[in-house]
């Protein structure tokens, strides 16, 4: 049975942990507010440029641009966005599971991994997969320059015929309690999907539709990567805030149980001492 000193030491330890989880929750809440503002601002542009390039791609010949069609030889570059740090519940695990499921659904494909976030590198570095490149998410807010750097790597691999398709896996932010892992193909452009139609029928493009599309497509890839970074960042902060809130509540419940155990143990010790005093007094009378 634990002594009073052991229980008291454990209560102190849990209280210290509770202070840490509470502080982490507050930090994540502040970061989440900024990340949420960023992603809400970026989503309309991301959807608009995607709808525009898709509508333009339907008006030109697929052979007119290398980003629209390519011979399928089963080579896929999978870009996985996760976090650098843990303590965010099942956030990273769910994204890695999404990637593993994609691999299982494409058993004949040769998959190369482009990893963004240290947790992904820690998971895959001992699993014998082909890792093209790794990046750290960093502690600052995602920048467009970082997204451009990643997009340039992906476009270079695609143009130099190192891959046939490029997919991105990221966590779509819905709320602090809900994040959904999604997978999207960004190269070649999926024109067969039902996207929101852009009204381009009566628009005159200069110098030509093909040249405008050639200029827009790299920007489209850059911004889809940028959106994935923003979504992942917001989702990470939301998941960590929720996890730390749950940990803080659990610590409070544990403190209550330990305090009850401490009071019971102290009461038992006091009762035992009283019984010993009474027994000694009765012995002296006899």
Sheet (strand 130-135) strand order: 130-135, 110-116, 75-81, 165-175, 178-187
CB-CB contact of 135 with 150 (8 Å): yes
CB-CB contact of 6 with 254 (8 Å): no
Give the HSE-up count for residue 61: Cα atoms under 13 Å, Cβ half-sphere: 2
**Residue 12 pairs with which residues in a beta bridge?**
none
Which helix (H) or strand (E) is 129 found in, with range? none
Residue 16 Cα distances to 8, 257, 260, 277, angstroms: 13, 16, 19, 38
Q: DSSP class of residue 183?
A: E
Residue 11 Cα distances to 18, 22, 34, 56, 205, angstroms: 10, 16, 35, 64, 71
- Catalytic residue chosen out of the listed positions 55, 56, 88, 176: 88
Burial (CB count within 10 angstroms: exposed 0-12, middle 13-18, buried 19+), residue 92: buried
Residue 274 annotated among the catalytic residues of the structure:
no
Which of 146, 284, 281 lies closest to 223 in space, CA to CA?
146
| C-alpha–C-alpha distance, residues 189 and 217, integer Å | 9
Catalytic residues: 88
């Amino acid at each position: 049975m634990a002594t009073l000193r052991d229980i008291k030491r454990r209560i102190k330890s849990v209280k210290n942990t509770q202070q840490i989880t509470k502080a982490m929750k507050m930090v994540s809440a502040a970061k989440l507010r900024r990340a949420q503002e960023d992603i809400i601002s970026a989503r309309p542009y991301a959807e608009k440029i995607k709808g525009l390039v898709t509508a333009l791609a339907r008006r030109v010949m697929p052979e007119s641009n290398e980003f629209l069609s390519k011979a399928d030889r089963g080579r896929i570059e999978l870009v996985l966005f996760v976090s650098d740090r843990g303590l965010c519940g099942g956030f990273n695990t769910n994204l890695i599971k999404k990637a593993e499921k994609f691999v299982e659904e494409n058993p004949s494909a040769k998959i190369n991994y482009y990893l963004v976030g240290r947790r992904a590198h820690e998971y895959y570095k001992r699993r014998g997969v082909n890792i093209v490149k790794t990046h750290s998410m960093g502690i600052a807010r995602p920048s467009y320059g970082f997204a451009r750097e990643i997009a340039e790597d992906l476009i270079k691999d695609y143009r130099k015929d190192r891959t046939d398709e490029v997919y991105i896996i990221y966590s779509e932010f819905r709320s602090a309690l809900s994040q959904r892992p999604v997978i999207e193909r960004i190269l070649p452009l999926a024109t067969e999907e039902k996207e929101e139609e852009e009204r381009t029928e009566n628009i005159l493009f200069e110098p030509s539709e093909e040249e405008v599309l050639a200029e827009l497509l790299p920007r489209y890839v850059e911004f889809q990567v940028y959106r994935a970074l923003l979504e992942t960042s917001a989702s990470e902060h939301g998941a960590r805030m929720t996890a730390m809130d749950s940990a803080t509540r659990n610590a409070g419940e544990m403190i209550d149980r330990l305090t009850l155990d401490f009071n019971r143990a102290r009461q038992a010790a006091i009762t035992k001492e009283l019984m010993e005093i009474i027994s000694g007094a009765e012995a002296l009378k006899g």
